[in-house]
Amino acid sequence: MKTVSDFKWKKGMKVKEMVEGFQNLGFQSIELSKASDVIVKMKKNSAKIFLTFTSNMVTSGLRGFFAQIISLGMADVIVTTVGGIEEDIMKATGEKFIIGKFDSDDVELHEQGINRIGNLFIKNESYMNFEDRIMPILNKLYAKQKRWGVSDLLREIGLMLNDENSILYQAARNEVPIFCPAITDGAFGFHLYLFQQKHKDFVVDVVQDFGNILFTTSFDEKKGVIALGGSVSKHHAILCTLLHGGAEYAVYITTAHKTSGSMSGATTDEAKSWGKVKDDSDVATVIGDVTVMFPLAMIKALEQLDEEGLLKPQKKQMMKRISLEELKKNVKS
């Protein structure tokens, strides 16, 4: 029988030591410590790791952390929403997002051409610049072929970028597919529509891409899911694991509650009723802000895996945000 232990700081404490101290602290700290342990087990047991997240996490500074995780071999398959794709490209091409306040005057922000995501601001100008950048990319993709699966299209875009903090950039170079089943649900989808009006034979095939994600794993392969937030990104990954016998490992981090009956609030235990997670799987559900909870859980896992020599060495890459002029040059070449 475990008992509650007092938590204390000590000079020079590593994240690993701190999170290990959480295991007997109480409440969500116990679940957070357990989540980190499950992530370590995924890696040690060579599970295919599905990392899912919603676009608001790319709006935040987690974007660079996700890119780093990919480069370290801690994600084998990415599933996200289209805002994350747009904002990754925006940041890779020089756009800056502003730290604001949750209680801002939203009418005033609208008049200033500023869009609010929690306490983060994005200027309308950034979306206008995105249009200038995405159209040359779509022209190059169209010249190469007329029909694309979404993940194939995103890989090609990643190869055009030059920013090591970019999710698309790291995924393309580390052969990690990115799936975005709701590709039309944002500014990118609008520009795909406009492009198709001028090029009727240009097709972005989401059904083909469903087949692509199914072929990323198999029934016999061990599978792990790290689902940050909910939405279609979370469900798309666990639907894939369901069709291959269920996941052996699962970590959910969310602010949603199970009483809502939503995908975002659904726990790892609820997933067992569907067969998305196996009955005897190692699982953890953490209730809390992903920008706080996930770095703690993942860094503890990274420190432990690094100590045991189980992390993939990072390639030395020059960090650079590509300008509009450079992007156009890359596209022409």
Residues 6+ positions from 109 with CB-CB distance below 8 Å: 115, 116, 121
Annotation says 276 is catalytic: yes
User: Does an H or E element contain 81, and which?
Assistant: none
Backbone angles phi, psi at 323, to 5 degrees: -85, 170
Give residue 125's Cα distance to chain centre: 25
Neighbours of 30 (CB within 10 A): 17
233: nearest Cα among 116, 118, 90, 77: 77
54: nearest Cα among 26, 86, 27, 25: 86
Burial class (CB in 10 A: 0-12, 13-18, 19+), 178: buried
| Beta carbons of 301 and 311 less than 8 angstroms apart | no
Start-to-end CA distance of the chain, whole Å, equals 65
Residues 6+ positions from 207 with CB-CB distance below 8 Å: none
Q: How far apart are CA 217 and CA 262, in angstroms?
A: 26
Residue type, 84: G
| Beta carbons of 313 and 74 less than 8 angstroms apart | no
Q: 276, 300, 315, 328: which is the annotated catalytic residue?
A: 276
**Catalytic positions, written as ranges:** 276
